[in-house]
Amino acid sequence: MFSIGKLGRAARVKVPTIRYYEQIGLLPEPDRSAGNQRLYPRTALDRLAFIRHARELGFPLDAIRDLLGLSDHPDQSCAAADAIARAQLDAVRDRIVRLKALEGELERMLDQCASGTISDCRVIEVLGDHANCAHDHDGKDLG
């Protein structure tokens, strides 16, 4: 059994994150000791490691919830899990395209800068007026 602190260290997740995952139902509420301390079984560590890894791969919490639900039924077809992973791959590819466009815009902005004074600075000019950009890049879904 793990205390919340030991679970967090073992899974490399902060204690408030564990509490949050419990609150939103990604982790089941743990048993409590006589002193009301949370006590987590090994399965909680495995589940938390799954969540952390899925987050590292960029999966949104709703997709992780769905994947966890699927993992609770190991005899099912993996088609639903594949579809969730495919949607995440598509989202990553879309983000890469947007990031490449941003990279190009930043390179263009810097290439046009004469490195003179701020009054003539192309970086400041472009950032001050989106019309000076070559591409639309509103920054949505880049975080």
- What tokens does 31 get? 């048993």
pLDDT of residue 129: 77
pLDDT of residue 125: 79
pLDDT of residue 141: 47
For the chain, which ranges sit under pLDDT 50?
A: 141-142
pLDDT of residue 138: 61
pTM, two decimals, is 0.75
Q: Which residues contact 113 (CB under 8 A, 6 or more apart)?
A: 121, 122, 123
pLDDT of residue 49: 95
Q: Residue 40 pairs with which residues in a beta bridge?
A: 2
CA distance 46 to 67: 14
Of 38, 78, 79, 84, residue with least CA distance to 65: 84
pLDDT of residue 130: 76
pLDDT of residue 95: 95
- What tokens does 41 get? 């079984």
pLDDT in tens, 2-33: 999 999 999 999 999 999 999 999 999 898 88
pLDDT of residue 121: 77
